[in-house]
């Protein structure tokens, strides 16, 4: 039978008893660990626990109030997941164009959603996996602060960055991998404090799973785990132990905790070597490889790189307020150190993850091995490191006020996410209905003037055609299947010839009569914002789409504009069928 004494008013760590025998400090180890699973997930008081999980629930609820998720690349990964599901049928026609590669470090999201979509609608499966990743990440943050004997209420300050930069950009595999990596750190910490076969096996399994989900998250996990394990093992050793013996014991425990990650590392290296042989140029962007903002910009615009979600900047304000609480507690701790008569913490902050992740944030460029938007993904980890390094508040009145602010910061972040997702749902409802109006099993492209929305500042509608691929089980233009790193890839010579000038990010480059456009006759359009949303705009939309420049001057463009069939119109969104147009475009 296990009894757990709850933490005291100062946020102290619970002690553990089994059948009346104390486990932890009195049993030869000065570092008690949570005994049950539930002990990893509760905060220091019932009120803190309710507030924290309510805020997390609000963040996740935002994913379910809108038909389309406000995550830029997410539709592409969802559509690839649907193709993976279809490829499970040996007779599926998709086998002529696509192939599956299970030997990848960027595929766990796709295969998980593909499997779930055999039981649930594909879009519900995708939401559940993304939402589950956020819940798992939030749970891992609480578990980590409890294992490391930090005040659990500090986890509430992570909520403003739970819906992070990476979530907003739709990096579905990376978001899933961060949750796995965070839980791997929990078991690394447990193994460093008290190595057991179960904890070491958990590190090995989670590390391998993380390597299958996303290679960058695996790199972050390895770097963070090394520093965390050594510091946790050092602090867990009895202070009365001779320094040399203590250091050797800490090094041995840290090595035992981190060594299982080598399995995942070897897997990533093997995948990289294979993919490099396929295409050495895939891992280089010679024009901007290694480019990055200055260190000053990384400091000044940290909140932008950490969230960068809402057009009104409210997400950044909440994050800055949370970081302000961290800074305030650090300032009070510095004052305590100068005053010898003040009380000190019996469990000092954990500093190694903050040092490692801060160095990684500043040292990592924006473009690395041909992949963009790299260092901003580390900002969420840097916030986690700051929470672990946050000193404990020891003044009773100040502590109560600060903890109340932490709870309210989390709840405000959750409510803010639901609000902006609801606004996004109102803005994009017509886009979702347009997709429903299209015939299934076709081939669609999207021409989007203004992919941003009032709620979200990033181009959340850029890959709108991919939603057609997932929901209507068809093909879509500019598919991510062209990248070798994803598990669903085009077969050689199976994708249409790439256009000389693509319109994925520039609607004005669309040429309905180029060969690539002819392969995708269904056209989803978001009209230019200056055009009215009613039916009177149809001639202007047709002219803007189908009479580019020199074609219009010859008169052929005008005839093409009249030939195209209107399939649907809803507000600023239109859908056309361009079947039958000639493929004599200019590129």
Question: What does the pLDDT profile of the chain (587 residues) look like in tens digits?
Answer: 333 333 333 333 334 443 333 344 433 356 889 989 999 999 989 999 999 999 999 999 999 999 999 999 999 999 999 999 999 999 999 999 999 999 999 999 999 999 999 999 999 999 999 999 999 999 999 999 999 999 999 999 999 999 999 999 999 999 999 999 999 999 999 999 999 999 999 999 999 999 999 999 999 999 999 999 999 999 888 777 788 888 899 899 999 999 999 999 999 999 999 988 888 777 777 667 778 899 999 999 999 999 988 999 999 999 999 999 999 888 888 877 766 555 566 778 999 999 999 999 999 999 887 788 899 999 999 999 999 999 987 777 788 888 899 999 999 999 999 999 999 999 999 999 999 999 999 999 999 999 999 999 899 999 999 999 999 999 999 999 998 889 999 998 888 888 888 999 999 999 998 899 999 999 999 999 999 999 999 999 998 898 765 443 344 455 667 788 999 999 999 999 999 888 776 66
Range of the domain at 258: 2-282+301-418
Which residues are bridge partners to 3 per DSSP? 17
Phi, psi (rounded to 5 degrees) for 317: -65, -40
Report the first-to-last Cα separation within the chain, whole angstroms. 74
Residue 481: inside a domain: yes
CA of 52: how far to CAs of 167, 216, 352, 492, 550, in Å? 20, 28, 25, 50, 60
Is there a single domain that holds both residue 389 and residue 512?
no
Is there a single domain that holds both residue 413 and residue 531?
no
Q: Quick one: pLDDT at residue 448?
A: 96
What is the rounded distance in angstroms from the CA atom of residue 371 to the CA atom of residue 361?
16
Last-in-domain residue among 397, 418, 439: 418
For CA atoms 463, 468, 473, 474, give the dihedral sign: negative
Q: Give the list of residues 6+ apart from residue 260 with CB closer than 8 angstroms, or none.
A: 200, 201, 203, 204, 207
Phi, psi (rounded to 5 degrees) for 469: -60, -40
Last-in-domain residue among 418, 433, 448: 418
Is there a single domain that holds both residue 471 and residue 544?
yes
Residue 308: inside a domain: yes
Q: Quick one: pLDDT at residue 548?
A: 62
Is there a single domain that holds both residue 395 and residue 489?
no
Residue among 158, 208, 160 at smallest CA distance from 316 = 160
297-304, long-range: CB < 8 A, 24+ apart: 298/361, 298/362, 298/375, 302/379, 302/382
Number of structural domains (the chain) is 2
Is there a single domain that holds both residue 91 and residue 227?
yes
CB 362 within 8 A of CB 298: yes
Is there a single domain that holds both residue 448 and residue 488?
yes
Residue 586: inside a domain: no
Residue among 564, 516, 520 at smallest CA distance from 541 = 564
What is the rounded distance in angstroms from the CA atom of residue 92 to the CA atom of residue 85?
10
CB 545 within 8 A of CB 561: yes
CA of 67: how far to CAs of 431, 467, 479, in Å? 9, 10, 21
Residue 296: inside a domain: no
Q: Which pair of tokens denotes residue 351?
A: 């500093």
Q: Give the list of residues 6+ apart from residue 55 with CB closer than 8 angstroms, or none.
A: 156, 159, 410, 411, 413, 414
Residue 587: inside a domain: no
CB 459 within 8 A of CB 70: no
Give the CA count within 13 Å in the CB-facing half-sphere of 304: 11
What is the rounded distance in angstroms from the CA atom of residue 246 to the CA atom of residue 227?
16
Is there a single domain that holds both residue 487 and residue 376?
no
Last-in-domain residue among 418, 450, 470: 418
Other CB atoms within 10 A of residue 129 CB? 21
Is there a single domain that holds both residue 406 and residue 428?
no
CB 108 within 8 A of CB 264: no
Phi, psi (rounded to 5 degrees) for 68: -105, 135
Is there a single domain that holds both residue 193 and residue 256?
yes
Residue 293: inside a domain: no
What is the rounded distance in angstroms from the CA atom of residue 514 to the CA atom of residue 65?
38
Report pTM.
Answer: 0.91
Is there a single domain that holds both residue 380 and residue 434?
no
Helices (H), 117-242: 122-147, 165-168, 172-193, 197-213, 215-236
What is the rounded distance in angstroms from the CA atom of residue 369 to the CA atom of residue 72?
21
Give the CA count within 13 Å in the CB-facing half-sphere of 569: 13
Residue 235: inside a domain: yes
Is there a single domain that holds both residue 413 and residue 435?
no
Residue 174: inside a domain: yes
In DSSP notation, 383-448 reads HHHHHHHPPPP--HHHHHHHHHHHHHHHHHHHHHHHHHHHHHHHHHHHHHHHHHHSPTT-EEEEEE
Is there a single domain that holds both residue 373 and residue 485?
no
């Amino acid at each position: 039978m296990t009894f757990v004494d709850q933490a005291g008013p100062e946020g102290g760590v619970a002690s553990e008893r089994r059948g009346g025998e104390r486990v932890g400090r009195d049993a030869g180890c000065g570092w008690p660990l949570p005994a049950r699973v539930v002990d990893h997930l509760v905060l220091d008081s019932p009120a803190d626990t309710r507030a924290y999980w309510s805020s997390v629930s609000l963040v996740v609820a935002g994913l379910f109030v809108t038909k389309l998720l406000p995550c830029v690349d997410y539709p592409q990964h969802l559509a690839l997941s649907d193709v993976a599901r279809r490829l499970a049928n040996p007779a599926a026609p998709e086998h002529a164009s696509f192939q599956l590669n299970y030997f990848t470090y960027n595929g766990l999201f796709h295969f998980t959603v593909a499997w779930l979509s055999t039981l649930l609608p594909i879009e519900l499966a995708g939401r559940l996996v993304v939402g589950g990743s956020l819940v798992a990440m939030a749970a891992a943050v609480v578990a980590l602060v409890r294992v490391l004997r930090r005040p659990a209420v500090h986890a509430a300050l992570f909520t403003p960055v739970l819906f992070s930069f990476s979530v907003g950009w739709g990096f579905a595999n990376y978001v899933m991998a961060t949750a796995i990596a965070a839980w791997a750190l929990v078991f690394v910490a447990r193994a460093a404090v008290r190595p057991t076969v179960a904890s070491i096996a958990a590190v090995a399994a989670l590390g391998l799973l993380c390597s299958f989900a996303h290679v960058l998250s695996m790199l972050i996990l390895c770097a963070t785990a090394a520093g965390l394990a050594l510091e946790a093992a050092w602090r867990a050793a009895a202070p009365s132990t001779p320094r040399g013996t203590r250091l050797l014991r800490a090094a041995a425990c840290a090595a035992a905790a981190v060594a299982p990650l080598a399995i995942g590392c070897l897997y990533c290296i093997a995948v990289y070597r294979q993919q490099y042989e396929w295409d050495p140029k895939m891992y280089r962007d010679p024009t901007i490889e290694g480019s990055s903002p200055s260190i000053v910009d990384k400091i000044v615009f940290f909140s932008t790189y950490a969230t960068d979600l809402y057009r009104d900047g409210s997400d950044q304000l909440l994050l800055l307020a949370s970081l302000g609480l961290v800074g305030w507690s650090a300032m009070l701790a510095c004052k305590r150190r100068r005053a010898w008569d003040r009380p000190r913490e019996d469990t000092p902050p954990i500093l190694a993850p903050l040092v490692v992740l801060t160095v990684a944030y500043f040292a990592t460029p924006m473009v690395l091995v041909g992949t963009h938007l790299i260092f901003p993904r580390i900002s969420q980890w840097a916030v986690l490191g700051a929470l672990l390094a946050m000193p404990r508040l020891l003044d009773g009145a100040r502590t109560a006020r600060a903890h109340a602010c932490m709870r309210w910061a989390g709840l405000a972040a959750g409510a803010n996410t639901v609000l902006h997702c609801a606004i996004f749902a109102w803005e994009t409802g017509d886009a979702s209905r347009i997709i429903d109006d299209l015939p299934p099993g076709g081939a669609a492209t999207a021409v989007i003037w203004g992919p941003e929305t009032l709620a979200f500042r990033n181009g959340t509608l850029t890959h709108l055609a991919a939603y057609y691929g997932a929901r209507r089980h068809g093909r879509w233009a500019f598919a991510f299947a062209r990248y070798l790193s994803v598990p669903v890839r085009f077969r050689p010579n199976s994708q249409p010839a790439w256009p000389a000038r693509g319109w994925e990010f520039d609607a004005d480059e669309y040429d309905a009569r180029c060969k690539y456009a002819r392969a995708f006759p269904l056209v989803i359009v978001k009209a230019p914002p200056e055009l009215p949303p009613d039916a009177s705009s149809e001639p202007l939309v047709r002219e803007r789409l189908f009479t580019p420049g020199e074609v219009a001057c010859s008169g052929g463009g005008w005839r093409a504009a009249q030939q195209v069939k209107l399939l649907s119109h809803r507000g600023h969104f239109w859908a056309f069928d361009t079947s039958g147009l000639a493929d004599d475009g200019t590129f």
